[in-house]
Amino acid sequence: MFTRKRSDVEGVEWGNGTSHRVLTEKDNMGFAVAHTVVRAGTESRLQYRNHLEACYCISGTGNVEDTDGNLYPLEPGTIYVLDKHDKHYLRADEGGDMELVSIFNPAITGDEEHKLSEDGFSSY
């Protein structure tokens, strides 16, 4: 057994927010956990080609949209699940940052970085 605080790990800047990877591949759990902050008023085009991801909203509001135009509101207590390596748009409302607990399977190494651009979906 072990414990780790968010303050024990360095935050990774991913373009429109930060990610504190509190559980990574080196912990040998088979999955990873990150505390993700999405900055207020931002939109990110994302895809995880090598990982499945589930995100549980713990504060703030926003939405996630798939490439078919299905829009899912996010608020505390809502989880969204990317079970098919889905391309998606992640947005935080203007009123404040949105915070998520992100779970990755298989585990991320912890040093992955998004490359946000206008011409495609950032992935790792």
pLDDT tens digits along 11-40: 999 889 999 999 999 999 999 999 999 999
Neighbours of 96 (CB within 10 A): 14
Write out the two tokens for 34. Answer: 């990150």
Give one word for 18, left, alpha or beta, with left for phi > 0 and alpha for psi -120 to 50.
beta
Beta strands in 1-124 (DSSP E): 12-13, 17-23, 32-38, 43-47, 52-59, 62-66, 71-74, 79-82, 88-92, 98-105, 122-123
> How far, in Å, CA of 52 to CA of 30, rounded?
12
Question: What is the pLDDT of the chain when averaged over all its residues?
Answer: 93
Which residues of the chain carry a pLDDT beneath 70? 114, 116-119, 123-124
Domains of the chain: 11-108 (2.60.120.10)
